[in-house]
């Protein structure tokens, strides 16, 4: 199996690592950042003639691999995906597919037209926690689903890292928050119910991370002698400089040089060292939506950037029972209305310790199996993933226009 990786950021490296573990060979990689490109090539043994500064250069050549993994920024998904199809490559595409609705539809249609695999990295479909939830529902243990209450609890530090200082901070350069982060969650609603969404009402705004909320006299960068070092929970050095060795996410993404000195230097004038109240962010920091499904059931979804936890919590109400589930605790509680019995199921933590509760590795393996023609589930086919994207687009339209929005498939 020969693979091409487009984009060498955090997600590209995750998939590259699992691909290598599964026996695949990475024969080419593209990234405009020369330092990151060379670092990736060294770590994954990519030959020198397989290094490209742009994805366009990759697809100028005749087909020389089996598949492409695309993990570029959101607004650089459509171009390389369509170019890959024209050359006959199967594609694994990082979510979201695109911040443009028509581009999402076009990619799905092109993959079908060409008879090529397009899978989207909705990795939670492969996480044992959600697979077990799906199994319980499909067994009919709580009857017909009437309502799902799903909450994306984004830890306060995670929100500040990714959506205030980070690459997903502004819709103009990435996507709306409900698409960039929570298309995972909307995908879970369609996955667990097995139903399409008819309409949505949504509200939300950017309430806190605004310039007028900056403490008096706060500097542009935290290291510029900020006097609020001890009283601000968003003080950048406290988040990114705690680890001395074995540096992990999110500290390892602020600089290729992950030494203490390298990270300290990155915080001086880099994006992750900025005061959270003085960034060019624009995405909402909280949003709620109510989705009406095709069978009359409803799903309420809340995403919040001010949580002590960094997890997802779910309540599922059925006609015969209900479910309470907590992802990071790997715990599912089932209540039976008829017998009054309660069952608590614990998911094996040795499986869920890996990325996205074990979903990252299992999705990558399923994609590679599909490309090789082996038995595969292809749970995250682009056609499946499109539904959550359409829900996100409709929710944003509803939030901005202040009205209910129907979804057209």
pLDDT digits (tens, 9 = 90+) for 340-354: 999 999 998 776 667
User: Which of 250, 273, 296 is the endpoint of a domain?
Assistant: 273
Average pLDDT over residues 104-128: 97
State yes or no: pLDDT of 375 exceeds 70: yes
Do 166 and 311 belong together in one domain?
yes
Question: Residue 233's closest CA among 246, 222, 224, 244?
Answer: 222
Same domain, residue pair 170 and 71:
no
Indicate whether 238 and 257 sit together in one domain: yes
Q: Are residues 132 and 10 in the same domain?
A: no
CATH number, domain at 14?
3.40.50.720
10 Å CB burial of residue 357 (0-12, 13-18, 19+) is: buried
Count other Cβ atoms within 10 Å, centred on residue 135: 11
Q: What is the domain-level CATH number for residue 318?
A: 3.30.360.10
Residues 68-79 have pLDDT tens digits of: 999 999 999 999
The residue out of 120, 154, 178 marking a domain boundary is 120
Q: What is the mean pLDDT of residues 271-286?
A: 97
Contact 153, 306 (CB under 8 A): no
Query: What span, in angstroms and rounded, lies between the C-alpha atoms of 289 and 398?
Result: 9
How wide is the angle at C-alpha 109 spanned by C-alphas 380 and 396, nearest 5°? 70
Task: Report the percentage of the chain scoring pLDDT > 90.
Answer: 95
Do residue 234 and residue 192 come from a single domain? no
**228 and 289 part of one domain:** no
Is residue 178 within 8 Å of residue 394, measured between CB atoms? Answer: no
pLDDT of res. 79: 98
Identify whether residues 348 and 392 lie together within a single domain.
yes
Q: Tell me the pLDDT tens digit for each residue of 90-113.
A: 999 999 999 999 999 999 999 999
Helix (H, G, I), strand (E, B) or coil at 325: strand
Q: What is the SS3 assignment for 8?
A: coil
- In contact, 366 and 396? CB cutoff 8 Å: no
Cα gap 114→109, rounded to integer Å: 9
Residues 33 and 173 in one domain: no
Q: Does 368 score more than 90 pLDDT?
A: yes
Packing angle between helix 34-44 and helix 10-21, nearest 10 degrees? 20
Instruction: Determine the Cα–Cα distance for residues 234 and 236; give it in Å rounded to an integer.
Output: 6
Q: How far apart, in Å, are the Cα atoms of 165 and each of 35, 100, 158, 262?
A: 22, 23, 10, 18
Same domain for 221 and 141:
no
CA 228 to chain centre: 32
Closest CA to 352 of 339, 344, 361, 340: 361
Residues 101 and 138 in one domain: no
User: Quick one: tokens of 354?
Assistant: 């890996």
Model confidence pLDDT, tens digit, residues 35-94: 999 999 999 999 999 999 999 999 999 999 999 999 999 999 999 999 999 999 999 999
H/E run at residue 13: helix 10-21
Per-residue pLDDT at 356: 78
Sign of CA dihedral 105, 357, 177, 270: negative
Q: Within this chain, do residues 329 and 247 fall inside the same structural domain, yes or no? A: no
How many whole angstroms separate alpha carbon 241 and alpha carbon 255? 12
Q: Of the candidates 120, 148, 170, which is a domain's last residue? A: 120
**Does residue 139 sit in the same domain as residue 162?**
yes
Task: Measure the CA–CA gap between 303 and 312, rounded to whole angstroms.
Answer: 9
Whether residue 235 contacts residue 222, with contact meaning beta carbons closer than 8 Å, is answered with: yes
pLDDT of residue 141: 97
Tell me the C-alpha distance between 231 and 222, whole Å.
12
pLDDT value at 409 more than 90: no
What tens digit of pLDDT does each residue of 306-343 get? 999 999 999 999 999 999 999 999 999 999 999 999 99
User: What is the structure's pLDDT at 352?
Assistant: 65
Beta strands, E only, 34-113 = 51-52, 67-70, 90-93
**Structural domain range at position 246:** 211-273
Report how far residue 122's alpha carbon sits from residue 267's, in angstroms, rounded to the nearest whole number: 32
Provide the pLDDT for residue 295.
97
How many domains does the chain divide into?
Answer: 3
């Amino acid at each position: 199996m020969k693979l091409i990786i487009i984009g060498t950021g955090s997600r590209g490296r995750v998939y590259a690592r699992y691909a290598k573990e599964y026996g695949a060979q990475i024969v080419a990689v593209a990234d405009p950042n020369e330092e990151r490109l060379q670092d990736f090539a060294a770590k994954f043994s990519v030959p020198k003639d397989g290094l490209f500064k742009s994805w366009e250069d990759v697809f100028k050549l005749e087909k020389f691999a089996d598949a492409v993994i695309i993990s570029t920024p959101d607004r650089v998904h459509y171009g390389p995906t369509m170019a890959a199809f024209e050359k006959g490559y199967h594609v694994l595409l990082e979510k979201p597919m695109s911040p443009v609705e028509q581009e999402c539809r076009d990619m799905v249609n092109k993959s079908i037209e060409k008879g090529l695999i397009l899978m989207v990295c909705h990795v939670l479909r492969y996480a044992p926690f959600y697979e077990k939830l799906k199994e319980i529902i499909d067994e009919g243990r709580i009857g017909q689903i009437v309502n799902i209450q799903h909450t994306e609890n984004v830890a306060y530090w995670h929100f500040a890292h990714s959506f205030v200082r980070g690459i997903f901070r502004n819709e103009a350069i990435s996507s709306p928050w409900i698409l960039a982060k929570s298309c995972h969650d909307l995908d879970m609603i369609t996955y667990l119910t097995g139903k399409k969404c008819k309409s949505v009402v949504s509200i939300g705004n950017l309430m806190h991370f605004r310039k007028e909320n900056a403490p008096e006299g706060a500097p542009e960068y935290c290291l510029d002698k900020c006097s609020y070092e001890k009283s601000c929970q968003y003080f950048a050095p406290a988040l990114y400089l705690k680890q001395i060795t074995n540096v992990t996410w999110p500290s390892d993404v602020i600089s290729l040089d992950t030494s203490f000195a390298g990270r300290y230097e990155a915080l001086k004038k880099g994006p992750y060292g900025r005061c959270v109240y003085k960034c060019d962010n624009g995405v909402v920091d909280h949003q709620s939506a109510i989705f009406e499904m095709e069978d009359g059931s409803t799903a309420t979804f809340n995403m919040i950037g001010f949580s002590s936890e960094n997890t997802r919590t779910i309540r599922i109400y059925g006609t015969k029972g209900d479910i309470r589930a907590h992802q990071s605790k790997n715990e599912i509680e089932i209540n039976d209305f008829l017998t009054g019995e309660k069952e608590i199921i614990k998911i094996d933590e040795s499986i869920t310790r890996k990325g996205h509760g074990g979903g990252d590795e299992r999705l990558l393996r399923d994609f590679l199996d599909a490309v090789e023609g082996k038995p595969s589930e292809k749970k995250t086919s682009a056609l499946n993933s499109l539904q959550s994207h359409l829900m996100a687009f409709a929710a944003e339209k509803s939030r901005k226009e202040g009205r209910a929005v129907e979804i057209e498939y």
